[in-house]
Structure 1
Amino acid sequence: MKKPLFSPIILALLVLLIVVLIPNKWIEGMIPKERINQAATELNPFMFQGKYVQQKMLENKHFLPIYGSSELARLDRFHPSNYFKVTGEEFTPFLIGRGGTESLIHLLNFSEHTNQLKGKKMVFVLSPQWFQPQGTDESHFVPNYSSLQGYDFAFNQKVNPTIKKEAIKRLLKFSPVKDDPFLSTIYQAEITNDPWMKRKASLVRPFAYAYRNLLVKKDLYYSLVGGKPHKREISHKVRDKSWGKLAIQAEKMGSRKSKNNQFCITNGQFNKIKKMVPSLKDSKKGASYGKSPEYDDFQLLLDVLKESGAQPLFISVPVNGKWYDYTGFPKEGRTAYYERIKKQIQSQGFQIADFSNHEYDPYFMKDTIHIGWKGWVYTDKAIKNFYEGKKVEEDLGRLN
């Protein structure tokens, strides 16, 4: 006798129903305690775009979150994740960010965790390249956007309404938000006085809330399963070294790894762009990072951190001066960024480690845009001083 063809479908539906109905607390109870430690250097997008792992991390004084973008993946012996591990510091860096993770993405992330940010020390690495004249675009926003964080932002009653409305206006410009019928309706109702839109939002809100709860459960299951372990080499060669000796060590490593060009770019990276280099000469004449919508996005981020009571240290990374000169990118177009971003941060009472005077410091950068061997040494020193409660801006001179 043949079994009914629809039995696998029924079985699948039953399994799905069980998965959905399992209480969140039960799933949380099954998540291994070591998951948070494992995620600290995984650079796993599911963790960036989720909620549970970051929430537990922020509640734990043992972790020092470091937010940024693609530079966080440049793991070497001088990287904070290696340096502070082998030197036995009382905190563990927790990396949050990847390529294209710019101000709006970080804003949603911080808004998700306002309850855990009060008094929390953190490090935020800034990249000049975020501040393009057109601001962030779809190619950077879409891969890093989190539907869970987007929906939680819609229901968030703790973010200042003025900040929230300005953020929503920006978010509605991007396809994952404006093309989501539930979310876009609720967002639009937040920024309009149109009675019809308000009524429409009240109708879709229960469905949006139910969908948001499914996203929360999905995040818990991802946290339970965990990401792919990130294998990295731990180097003890930075242990028991003065800052000066570390800088010399970093210079030697940089010299070995960037021998085939005059820009102090890693050999491998330069080989990738070698054929294009002649065509890039003077290609950036008239460019500037001094004006960009990103400054307004960044201000919203600062406002959320300020209101939540967070204690951030901002790392102002320079550009590769030799390379930028070669491409004709004007010095004043870079200086305008350094000065504006520093003023913007300090106006909020936050600390900044301003490394803009290292544009021409060999091996401070690893390539055209990413912080390198020597740059990490200076960053490590700034982080250590910050964590110990020292004024970072007063101690950014020579390493000793």
Structure 2
Amino acid sequence: MKKPVFIPLFLAFLVLFILVIIPDRWIESLIPKNRISQAATELNPVMFQGKYIQQKMLEDDRYLPIYGSSELARLDRFHPSNYFQEVHEGFTPFLVGRGGTESLIHFLNFSEHMDQLKDKKIVFVLSPQWFNPQGADESHFVPNYSSLQGYDFAFNKQVDPEVKKRAIKRLLTYSSVKNDPILSTLYKAEITNDPWIKREASALRPAAVVYRHLLAKKDLYYSLAGWFSRHRDLTPKVRNKSWDQLAQEAEHYGAKRATNNHFYISNSQYNKIKGFLPSLKNKDLKRSYGESKEYGDFQLVLDVLKQSGAKPLFISVPVNGHYYDYTGFPKEGRAAYYSRIKQQIEADGFQVADFSDHEYDPYFMKDTIHIGWKGWVYTDRAIKEFYEGSDQNLAMMNF
């Protein structure tokens, strides 16, 4: 006898209903105690697009959050996550970000955790490549956008209203926000005096509350489900060495891995571009990082960090000068960025480790855009000085 087709559908809805009504505290009690330490180097999008794992990490003084983008995944032996594990400085770097995680994504994340950021030391790695004229495009924003953080932001009463309005106007330019009928209506109601939109937002608010709760529940289940490991180079060769010795070792390490090109980048990365390298010659003659929508997005980051009382150190990463000269990218267009970003950070009273003088330093970069070997040594030193609270030493450090 043929089974009724509605039975599997009914069972599916029953299972979903049970998963939804299970109290959050029950799920939290099942999440392994070592989940936070596991997540520290995994760079799992589920974690930084969620809330639970980061909230627990920020409440724990053992962790130093490092926010950035794709450079965080270059886990060579000089990477902060590996270096500080070897030298036992008393804290564990916790990495948040991946390729395309630019200022606006970080702003939403910081807005989510304002309560946990007060007096919290954090590190924020900046990439010049974010600051193209149009800022973050759809291809970078959409994969990194968090619906949970987007909905939480709609209900956020902590963020300064003027900052929130600026952020909403920017968020509404992206498809993942403007094509969400509930969220976009809530956002529009914040920035308009139109009574119809405000009434519509009021009517939709209960649905938004329910959906927001479902997203938070999903985050808990993802936190419970488990993670994946990421390869790390933990060769113990960084302990009991001076910074000069480490820089020399990083240079030797890089020299062995960058033997087939004059850009001082790893052989494997050069092999990826050498086939079409002639087409890259002088292709960037008219480019500049001096003007970009990203500066406005980055100001949102500064504003929310300042309001929350966080204590950030910004790492200003250079470009690979040899490669950028080859593509014809004007030095003036690079210098404009270095100067502007430093002034913007310092205007809000924050610290910046400025590495812009290292554009031509061999093996400072691992490829055409990502910090590597020697660059990580300088970054480790800046982080150590910052964590120990030596503001004067950081300001006087010869980067």
Output one character per residue of 1:309-350: Cα deviation in whole Å (capped at 9) or x when no partner: 000000000000111111111111100000000000001110
Larger mean Cα displacement after TM superposition, 238-247 or 226-235: 226-235
Following superposition of structure 1 onto structure 2, how do residues 7-46 of structure 1 map, counting pairs within 5 Å? Answer: 7-46=7-46
Give the 3-state SS of the residue equivalent to 1:94 in structure 2: strand
* Separation in structure 1 between the aligned mates of residue 274 and residue 230 of structure 2, nearest angstrom: 30
**2:345 maps to which residue?**
345
Q: What does 1:278-293 align with in structure 2 at a 5 Å threshold?
A: 278-293=278-293
For 2:36, give the aligned amino acid.
Answer: I
Residue 312 (structure 2) pairs with residue 312 (structure 1): yes
SS in 1 for 2:389: coil
Deviation at 1:3, TM superposition (A): 4.2
Distance (Å, rounded) in 1 between the aligned partners of 2:314 and 2:352: 5
Structure 2 unmatched runs, 5+: none
Residues 102 and 130, structure 2, Cα contact 8 Å, conserved in 1: yes
Query: Is 1:264 equivalent to 2:264 in the alignment?
Result: yes
Once the two structures are superposed, what CA deviation does each residue of 1:34-93 show, in whole Å capped at 9, x if it has no partner? 000000000000001000000000000000000000000001000000000010110000
Code of the residue aligned with 1:381 in structure 2: it is: R
Partners of 2:283 and 2:45 in 1: CA distance? 34
- Helix, strand or coil for the counterpart of 1:257? coil
Structure 1 residue 276: Cα displacement: 1.5
Residues in 2 aligned to 1:178 and 1:24: alpha-carbon distance in whole angstroms: 30
TM value normalised by structure 2: 0.98
1:384 aligns with 2:388: no
Structure 1 residues without counterparts, runs of 5 or longer: none
For 1:23 and 1:185, the matched residues in 2 are separated by: 30
- In the alignment, does 2:166 pair up with 1:166? yes
Alignment-mate amino acid for residue 264 of structure 1:
Y
**Secondary structure of the residue that 1:64 maps to in structure 2?**
strand
Q: Distance between the aligned counterparts of 2:3 and 2:145, measured in 1?
A: 44
**Distance in structure 1 (CA, Å) of the matches to 2:245 and 2:252:** 11
Q: State the AA in 2 paired with 1:306.
A: K
Q: Determine the structure 2 residue equivalent to 1:123.
A: 123
Instruction: Tell me the distance in 2 between the aligned counterparts of 1:393 and 1:288.
Output: 29
- Verify the 8 A CA contact 2:81 2:92 in the aligned structure 1: yes
Matched ranges for 1:213-232 at <5 A: 213-232=213-232
Q: Distance in 2 between matches of 1:36 and 1:182?
A: 33
Q: CA shift at 1:251, angstroms? A: 0.4
Question: Secondary structure in 1 aligned to 2:64?
Answer: strand
Partner of 2:177: 177
Measure the CA separation in 2 of the matches of 1:337 and 1:393.
22
Question: Take 2:323 and 2:397, find their aligned partners in 1: how far apart are those partners?
Answer: 24
Residue 397 of structure 1: aligned partner: 398
- Separation (CA, whole Å) in 2 of partners of 1:93 and 1:245: 23
Q: Distance in 2 between matches of 1:175 and 1:28?
A: 33
In the other structure, the counterpart of 2:75 is: 75
Aligned match of 2:92: 92
**SS of the counterpart of 1:123?**
strand
Q: Is 2:88 aligned against 1:65? A: no
RMSD of aligned Cα (Å): 1.0
Contact 2:386 2:394 in 1 (8 A): no
Q: SS at 2:65's partner residue? A: strand
- Aligned-partner SS, 1:314: strand
Q: Which amino acid aligns with 2:51?
A: K
Q: What are the within-5 Å matches in structure 2 for residues 139-154 of structure 1?
A: 139-154=139-154
Instruction: Please report how far the alpha carbon of residue 230 of structure 1 lies from its aligned counterpart in structure 2 after TM superposition.
Output: 2.5
Partners of 1:300 and 1:9 in 2: CA distance? 45
Alignment match, 1:325: 325
Give the distance between the partners of 1:6 and 1:135, measured in 2 at CA.
49
1:202 aligns with 2:208: no
Does the 8 Å contact 2:42/2:229 carry over to 1? yes
Amino acid of the residue matched to residue 44 of structure 1? N
Aligned equivalent of 1:156: 156
Secondary structure of 1:65's aligned partner: strand
Distance (whole Å) between structure 1 residues aligned to residue 165 and residue 372 of structure 2: 38
- Which 10-residue stretch deviates more, 270-279 or 174-183? 270-279
The aligned counterpart of 1:114 is 114
**Cα distance in 2 between the residues matched to 1:185 and 1:129:** 32
Higher mean C-alpha displacement, 45-54 vs 269-278: 269-278
Q: For 1:154-173, what per-residue CA distance to the aligned partner results, in whole angstroms no more than 9, with x for missing partners?
A: 00000000000000000000
Secondary structure, counterpart of 1:150 in structure 2: helix
**d(CA) in 1 for partners of 2:288 and 2:7?**
63
TM-score, normalisation: structure 1: 0.98
Q: Is contact 1:354–1:393 with CA below 8 Å preserved after alignment? A: no
SS in 1 for 2:285: coil
Q: Secondary structure in 2 aligned to 1:206? A: helix
Distance (Å, rounded) in 2 between the aligned partners of 1:278 and 1:265? 17
Number of equivalenced pairs: 398
Partner Cα distance (1:168, 1:5) in 2: 45
Distance 2:336 2:250 in 1: 29
d(CA) in 1 for partners of 2:216, 2:260: 49
Q: Following TM superposition, by how much is the alpha carbon of 1:393 offset from its aligned partner in structure 2, in angstroms?
A: 4.1
